Amino acid sequence: GDSVTQMEGPVTLSEEAFLTINCTYTATGYPSLFWYVQYPGEGLQLLLKATKADDKGSNKGFEATYRKETTSFHLEKGSVQVSDSAVYFCAPRGRDSSYKLIFGSGTRLLVRP
């Protein structure tokens, strides 16, 4: 079935630093790919998505590009803010998982002033 691997956290950055959170997936065919964000004590919110190869999802300054050749969907942001501190989940959704989202373990980001 589908699976996903995220870089382990916590990731600690200073404000205005560049962020990369790595995500690689295993799936047959063309899964859609999602990034979700979870702020402390809350549910998950959809951050961005991409549904086919070479698509770039973007939202709130975050970006991720669907790289089928490397089966990756790395999350990036050019300049992080303290308010970006949260847990980030990568999740493919494809045929092999009966179209259920498969969540990674999550990566905690801590941004310091």
Partner 1 sequence: DGGITQSPKYLFRKEGQNVTLSCEQNLNHDAMYWYRQDPGQGLRLIYYSQIVNDFQKGDIAEGYSVSREKKESFPLTVTSAQKNPTAFYLCASSTGQGTPYGYTFGSGTRLTVV
**Binding positions for partner 1, rule: CB under 8 A:** 30-32, 34, 36, 41-46, 49, 51, 89, 91, 93-95, 99-101, 103-106, 108
Min dist. Cβ of residue 19 to partner 1 (A):
20
Distance between CA atoms of 5 and 105, rounded to whole angstroms? 8
Compute the half-sphere exposure of residue 93: CA atoms within 13 Å on the CB side of its CA. 12
CA dihedral 18, 106, 37, 97 (to 10 degrees): 120
**49 vs 74, beta carbon nearer partner 1:** 49
**17 vs 22, beta carbon nearer partner 1:** 22
**43 vs 113, beta carbon nearer partner 1:** 43
Min dist. Cβ of residue 18 to partner 1 (A):
25
Min dist. Cβ of residue 37 to partner 1 (A):
11
Task: Specify whether the CB–CB gap between 92 and 29 falls below 8 A.
Answer: no
Distance between CA atoms of 45 and 37, rounded to whole angstroms? 5
